[in-house]
Amino acid sequence: MVKLKSILAAAAVAIALAFQSGAASAQAQIPFPGADGYTRVMWRGTDGSISLWKVDSGANALGSHTYGPYAGWSPLTLTVLGNNTYVLWTYTDGTAKIWALDANLNFITGRNFGPAAPWSAYGLGVSSSGNLFLLWKTPENQVTAWLINAALNVVGYGPQYGPYFGWQF
C-alpha cells in the first residue's frame, strides 16, 4: 500500500509540474521513501539546477529547496538513506560529488570523489549494511562500486564487472 501511495504522490507531482514552464519542466527522479515514510523528488532543471521536494503519501509537498546551477556541475541522481537524502553531481573533468542533506532537504556537507578516468560516476544506491554505493562505469561498459558510509568516507571497493557482449549498463 505504501508503494502505491508513493507512486500516486509522484504522479500528482508530475502532473502539477507538467503545467509549469521554464526550468521546472524538467526530468524527475523519485526514489523509495525514507525511513520517515516521506518520498524525496529531484527535478533536474534545463539550466543544471535541481529542485528537491519532500512529499507525503497523500501527494502533499511538505517542503522544497532549489540548488544551483553550478558552473561545470551536472546533477545526476539521488537516493535516501535513513532520513537523509544524498545527491550525486558530476563535474566536467569526471569528478563526482555527493551531497548529504538532512530530512528537510537542507545541505549538510559534500565530498568529491575522483576523477578516476576512464571511469565516470553513474549512480547511487543503498546497501543492506546502511552504506551508499557510488556506481562507476567506463565507456566500454565496465562497472564497479565504491562503498561509502553516511559520513561520505570510502569504506570499501567492489569488484569490476564487464563488459559483457550484448549488454549495457
Mean pLDDT across the chain, nearest whole number?
85
- pLDDT for the residue 5: 42
Q: What is the Cα–Cα distance from 64 to 45, expressed in whole angstroms?
A: 14
Residue 165 lies in a domain: no
Residue 105 lies in a domain: yes
- Minimum mean pLDDT range among 15-24, 36-45, 85-94, 159-168: 15-24
The residue range of the domain holding 152 is 2-157
Q: Into how many domains does the chain fold? A: 1
CATH number at residue 25: 2.120.10.70
Residue 163 lies in a domain: no
Name the residue among 106, 92, 32 with its Cα closest to residue 41.
32
Residue 166 lies in a domain: no
pLDDT at 115 over 70: yes
pLDDT digit string, tens, across residues 49-80: 999 999 998 889 999 999 999 999 999 999 99
38 Cβ neighbours under 8 A, 6+ residues apart: 54, 55, 56, 62, 103
Residue 10 lies in a domain: yes
129 Cβ neighbours under 8 A, 6+ residues apart: none
What is the pTM for the complete model shown? 0.83
Residue 95 lies in a domain: yes
